[in-house]
Chain A
C-alpha cells in the first residue's frame, strides 16, 4: 500500500531522490532549498538511503561534482535555488551536450538585486538555453512524482538530457500538504537501475568526455542536443501515460488543459498560480463565463504544436509570468506568442507575483476578465499587463 503523509515540497523532493535510488548527491544549502539536501543527509545518515553524500563548498562545486558523478554512470542529484542556480550557470551548460541525465530540482526564488527569498522565476529563466528539460510543478505530489518521472525521461536513450523540475519558493517548498509515496517495489519496476552506455568513466575502460572541440565538431553537438530535446516530447508523453496507468495520476504530459473545450478565453499558467486559477475557472464557469486554463508544465521542450492546437479553439489567450524579460514581456508570454505566430489571436502577457508577492484570487480573476474582454473585441488593448503594481494601471 502506498503511504500518504503530510509533507513539505522540499521533503517531497528529497523523498523522491530516495525512492528513485539516487546514488550520488552533492549538497550545498541555500534558502529555500536547504531542507531538500538536509532531509537527504538524514536519510543517508539513518541508513535508509544508500548513496554517496558529498558536502561541497559552493553551488558551482555542487553541479560540477554532480556532472562528474553522472559521467561515471551513476544516478546523480543535487538541488538549488536563486543565487545558487546563477552561480551554477557556467557548469549548467555542460550536462546537455555531454548527454548526462541529471535531475536537479530548483526552488524558484528571486535573484538579487534587491535581495529577497520569495518566489520569482528570474533565477530559472536565464538558464533556458542550456539544454535542460525544464518543467514547473503545481503541488507537492507533483514534486515527488516528477523526480521519479524525471529520471525515467532523462535516462531514456532517446533523450539523455538533464531534467529540472521547478517548485515555487515557500508556496510549495515550505508548505505541508498530503503526498502519496508509491511503494518502492512499484517505483523500482517503473524506474529500473540506470545503465549508462555512452558515458561511464572508469579506469579499467578509459574514455574521454567533453574534450576540446574546434568549430568542425561543435555544430553537430548542438544539432544532436536539439534532436534529443525534440525527441523528449514523445518520451515525456509516454512516461506520463505509463505513470498514470501504474500510479493513477495523469499529468497529461507537456501541457494540461482544464475546461478549455468551449472556452472563449484561456489563461496559460506556470507553477502554483495554476492551482488557484483552477478555482477561479470553476467559479467563473458557474457564472456562465467561458474561460479555460492551460497548465504549461514544460517550458523545455517547448510544446508549440500542443499550444497551436489549443489556440485554434479559443478567441484570446492570456499568459501568466512570474518574471520579466525587460522590454520584451514575461518569458512564457514571449514564447507562447512566438509559437502562435500567424494565428491572428490576441495574446496578452500578465506579470504578477514578482519577488514573491501573493498572487491573489482577485488578481487571477482580473487576468481572466481582461482576456475575455480581448476575446470579445478580437484585440488586446495592451500586450503586457502588470497586475498588482502600485501606481500602474493593469
Chain B
C-alpha cells in the first residue's frame, strides 16, 4: 500500500487531485481511496487531502499520518508548513515550484520532484489552478501510476465537476507537466517554529467553552480578536496593487473587502498620506492603503473598482 498527502489551499482543488489520483490507480486495477482532511477548511487557507492505494481492499478508515508521498500544490506552502512531517524516509515530495529539486528548501533533505505547475497551468488552462498539472509530475516522479491513467482519472473526476472540455485541458496540463518534471534531493535547511496549538485538558477547558476577548495562552491569542495574530496575507497568490491617481474615492473596494484590509487615505492621519497624493473634488486625499498582512488576494476590490485603479499582480 502507498499513502499520499496533498497540501494545497482551500479552492486550489487538492481534494479533486486526490480523487483523480485514486481514480487513476483504481483504473489500473487497484483498490483506492481518496478523502479530505477532517477539519476546518477555508478558501485560501492551507488544506490537506489524502489518497491510499493498494492491490487489495483497504480497511484503514483513519487519516494518513506517515505518507509515502507528499504532493504540494502551492510553492509558498513549504515556507509555512513542514510538508515533510511524517513523510517516510523512503518517501518523496512532489512540489509545484519553478526551482530545481536541489534548490528547494524543505524541513528535511528528501527525494524531491519539482515542476512549475503554476506555469504549466497558466500556459495550458489560462488559470493558476495546479491540481491537474501536479498529478502529471506525480506520475513521472513516482512511476506508481501511468500518465495515461492519470489523464483518465482527470477526465472522470474533473469531467463530472467542470465538464468534458475543461477536463480535457486539465488532462493536457498533466501531460505537459509530466514532460517537465525533474527529480533530485532537496535541501533540508528550513527550520520551522515549534508548532503551537491550544490544546487544553478537560480540566483546563473553559466552562461551557466560553472565551473572552483576546485570551492569552502559550500558543498565542485565542477567543475574540485572536485573528490579529493570524496573518492571512500568506494565503495570497495574487496581490492587489492600487494606482491611487485613478481612484475616485467611491469606497466600493473599502466596502466590499471581506477582510477589512483596505483603508481610505482620507481616513488616515496626515502623516501617513504619501507625498504627491491627489485630491478629489471635495478636497479629500484620494486613494487607498492596502494592509498586505491580512489581504488574502481574493480580487474582489479589483473586480469592483469602477475606474480600474486596482490591478491584481502575481
A171 touches B61 (CB 8 A): yes
| In the assembled complex, A6 has its CB within 8 A of some CB on chain B | yes
Kindly supply a per-residue 1/0 record for chain A positions 187-214, scoring 1 wherever the CB is within 8 Å of any chain B CB and 0 otherwise. Answer: 0000000000000000000000000000
- Contacting residue for B201 out of A356, A360, A391, CB 8 A: A391
- 7 tightest CB-CB pairs across the interface, nearest first? A391-B201, A175-B35, A272-B61, A279-B59, A391-B202, A176-B34, A390-B201
A391 touches B38 (CB 8 A): no
| In the assembled complex, A28 has its CB within 8 A of some CB on chain B | no
Chain B interface bracket (under 10, 10 to 19, 20 to 34, 35 or more): 20 to 34
A107-150 interface with B by 8 A CB criterion: 113-114, 118-119
- A6-B19, A361-B60 given; A392·B35 CB < 8 A: no
- Contacting residue for B60 out of A118, A275, A392, CB 8 A: A275
| In the assembled complex, A278 has its CB within 8 A of some CB on chain B | yes
A279 touches B201 (CB 8 A): no
**Given A358-B63, A392-B201, 11 additional A-B pairs, CB 8 A:** A6-B22, A6-B34, A170-B35, A174-B35, A174-B36, A177-B31, A177-B32, A275-B60, A361-B62, A389-B202, A391-B203
| In the assembled complex, B26 has its CB within 8 A of some CB on chain A | yes
- A170-B35, A171-B61 given; A176·B19 CB < 8 A: yes
Q: Hey, which chain A residues are within 8 Å of B62, CB to CB?
A: 276, 358-361
B3-57 interface with A by 8 A CB criterion: 19, 22-23, 26, 31-36, 38
- Contacting residue for B33 out of A175, A359, A392, CB 8 A: A175
Q: Hey, which chain B residues are within 8 Å of A118, CB to CB?
A: 38
A176 touches B35 (CB 8 A): yes
Q: Which residue of B lies closest to A119 (CB)?
A: B38
User: With A and B bound together, what is the CA distance between A178 and B29 in angstroms?
Assistant: 10
A177 touches B33 (CB 8 A): yes
A6 touches B60 (CB 8 A): no
User: With A and B bound together, what is the CA distance between A283 and B183 in angstroms?
Assistant: 36
User: With A and B bound together, what is the CA distance between A170 and B209 in angstroms?
Assistant: 25
Q: Hey, which chain B residues are within 8 Å of A119, CB to CB?
A: 38
30 residue pairs of the A-B complex, CB under 8 angstroms, read A6-B22, A6-B23, A6-B34, A6-B156, A114-B209, A118-B38, A119-B38, A170-B35, A170-B38, A171-B38, A175-B33, A176-B32, A176-B34, A177-B22, A177-B31, A177-B33, A178-B31, A275-B59, A275-B61, A276-B59, A276-B60, A279-B60, A358-B62, A358-B63, A360-B65, A361-B60, A361-B62, A389-B202, A390-B200, A390-B202
Q: Hey, which chain A residues are within 8 Å of B213, CB to CB?
A: none
Give chain A nearest CB distance to B160 CB in angstroms. 9
| In the assembled complex, A273 has its CB within 8 A of some CB on chain B | yes
Q: Which residue of B lies closest to A358 (CB)?
A: B63
Q: Hey, which chain A residues are within 8 Å of B31, CB to CB?
A: 177-178
B202-230 interface with A by 8 A CB criterion: 202-204, 209
Q: Hey, which chain A residues are within 8 Å of B203, CB to CB?
A: 391
- Contacting residue for B61 out of A114, A276, A390, A392, CB 8 A: A276
B38 touches A358 (CB 8 A): yes
A356-394 interface with B by 8 A CB criterion: 356, 358-361, 389-392
User: With A and B bound together, what is the CA distance between A360 and B60 in angstroms?
Assistant: 9
Kindly supply a per-residue 1/0 record for chain A positions 335-366, scoring 1 wherever the CB is within 8 Å of any chain B CB and 0 otherwise. Answer: 00000000000000000000010111100000
User: With A and B bound together, what is the CA distance between A6 and B18 in angstroms?
Assistant: 12
Give chain B nearest CB distance to A138 CB in angstroms. 8
User: With A and B bound together, what is the CA distance between A392 and B200 in angstroms?
Assistant: 11
| In the assembled complex, B162 has its CB within 8 A of some CB on chain A | no
Q: Hey, which chain B residues are within 8 Å of A360, CB to CB?
A: 62, 65
Q: Hey, which chain B residues are within 8 Å of A178, CB to CB?
A: 26, 31-32
User: With A and B bound together, what is the CA distance between A359 and B61 in angstroms?
Assistant: 9
Give chain B nearest CB distance to A86 CB in angstroms. 20
